[in-house]
Structure 1
Amino acid sequence: MVSILFLVVALFLLYAIIPSIAARWFGFGVFRKSRTRHEVAFTFDDGPDPIYTPQLLDLLKTYKIKAAFFVVGSKAERFPELILRMHQEGHLIGIHNYVHRSNWFLTPWTIRRHLDRSASFIENITGVRPVYYRPPWGLTNLFDFLLRQTFLIVLWSVMVGDWRSKGGSEAIKTRLLQKIQPGAVIVLHDSGETFGANRDAPLHTIQALDQVFPALLAKGYTCVRIDEMIPFQKPAIERKLSRKKRLLIYLWMQWEKAFHAVFHVRTIDRNNPFLNIRVCTYRGKTIQLTNGESIQKGDYVVELHFNNELLMQMATQARSSIHLAVQMIRATEQLLPQILEFIVHHPYRDKIKGLYGITMIYRGSRQLGFTVADLPKGLFSSCSKLYLRFLLYAVHPQGLQRLQTKTNLLIPKIIAISTNELMKRYPIDIQPKHSSQEMVFSSEHIFEGK
Structure 2
Amino acid sequence: MREGLRAGPAVGAVAPFVAVLAHIGPAATWLPLLRRRRFPGLAGQGRPGHVALTFDDGPDPVSTPHFLDLLDGLGVRATFFVLGENVVRHPAQARELARRGHELAVHGWTHHRPWLPSPARDTRELGRAVGVVREVTGQVPLWYRPPYGILTSGRWAACRRAGLRPVLWTAWGKDWRQDATPASVRATVTADLRGGGTVLLHDTDRVSAPGSWRAALAALPGIVRDCRAAGLEVGPLLEHGVVGTDRAREAGRGEPVTSEAAPFRSTAPP
Please report the TM-score for the alignment, with normalisation by the length of structure 2: 0.79
The answer to whether the 8 A contact 1:70-1:134 is kept is yes
Q: Give the corresponding residue for 1:189.
A: 202
Aligned equivalent of 1:148, options 160, 168, 184: 160
* Paired residue type of 1:183: G
- How far off is 1:148 after superposition? 2.4
Q: In the aligned structure 2, how far is the partner of 1:215 from the partner of 1:109?
A: 43
Q: Structure 1 residues 8, 29: closer, same or farther in 2, change over 3 A?
A: farther
Say if 2:41 and 2:242, in contact at 8 Å, map to a contact too. Answer: no
User: 1:139 pairs with 131, 150, 155, which one?
Assistant: 150
Match of 1:9 among 17, 21, 26: 17
Superposition deviation, residue 106 in structure 1: 5.2
Contact 2:177-2:212 at 8 Å conserved across structures: yes
Change in Cα spacing, 1:206 to 1:28, as seen in structure 2 (3 Å) is: same
Name the structure 2 match of 1:19: 26
Alignment of 1:406-425 (within 5 A): none
Listed as ranges, the matches of 1:356-395 within 5 Å are none
Q: CA deviation at 1:192?
A: 1.3
Q: Could you tell me how far 1:2 is from its partner in structure 2?
A: 7.3
Per the TM alignment, residue 232 of structure 1 is displaced from its structure 2 partner at its CA by 8.4
Secondary structure (helix, strand or coil) at the match of 2:115 reads: helix
Pick aligned residue for 1:90 from 91, 94, 101 = 101
Distance 2:221 2:137 in 1: 28
AA aligned to 2:52 is: A
**Would you say 1:55 and 2:76 are equivalent positions?**
no
2:188 to 155, 158, 175: 175
**Alignment correspondent of 1:218:** 229
Cα shift at 1:170: 1.2
Pick which of 131-140 and 106-115 moved more.
Answer: 106-115
- The 2-side partners of 1:210 and 1:234 are apart by 29
Structure 1 residues 220 and 29: CA distance shift in structure 2, 3 A: closer
- Structure number with higher strand proportion: 1
Query: 1:161 is matched with which residue?
Result: 174
**Residues 1:105 and 2:81 are matched in the alignment:** no
C-alpha deviations, 1:210-258, integer Å up to 9, x for none? 22222321221100211212258697xxxxxxxxxxxxxxxxxxxxxxx
**C-alpha RMSD of matched pairs (Å):** 2.5
Cα distance, 1:29 vs structure 2: 9.6
User: Partner residue of 2:254?
Assistant: none
Q: Residues 62, 91 of structure 1: CA spacing in aligned structure 2 closer, same or farther, 3 A cutoff? A: same
Q: Write the distance in 2 (CA, Å) between the matches of 1:154 and 1:42.
A: 12
Q: What is the CA–CA distance in structure 2 between the aligned matches of 1:128 and 1:209, rounded to whole Å?
A: 25
Aligned letter for 2:202?
Answer: H
Contact 1:38 1:220 in 2 (8 A): yes
1: CA distance, partners of 2:29 / 2:183: 33
Kindly provide the amino acid, as one letter, of the partner of residue 28 in structure 2: I
User: Retained in 2: the 8 A contact 1:31–1:154?
Assistant: yes
Structure 1 residue ranges without an equivalent (≥5): 236-313, 319-326, 328-450
CA distance in 1, matches of 2:94, 2:130: 12
> Which residue number corresponds to residue 348 of structure 1?
none
**Any conservation in 2 of the 1:102–1:135 contact (CA below 8 Å)?**
no
In the alignment, residue 130 of structure 1 is paired with which amino acid?
P
- Partner-residue secondary structure (3-state), 1:70: strand
- What's the secondary structure of 1:103's corresponding residue? coil
Most deviating of 208-217 and 182-191: 208-217
From the superposition, tell whether residues 32 and 101 of structure 1 become closer, same or farther in structure 2 (CA, over 3 Å): same
User: Is the 2:180–2:215 contact (alpha carbons within 8 Å) kept by the matching residues of 1?
Assistant: no
Shift of 1:10: 2.5
Q: Secondary structure at the match of 1:162?
A: coil
Aligned residues: 236
Question: Normalising by structure 1, what TM-score?
Answer: 0.49
Would the aligned equivalents of 1:164 and 1:198 in 2 still touch at CA under 8 Å? Answer: yes
SS in 1 for 2:59: coil
In 2, Cα distance between the equivalents of 1:234 and 1:48? 27
Alignment of 1:311-322 (within 5 A): none
| Residue of structure 1 equivalent to 2:217 | 206
| Contact 1:42–1:186, Cα closer than 8 Å, also in 2 | yes
Question: Based on CA coordinates, which of the two structures has the bigger radius of gyration?
Answer: 1
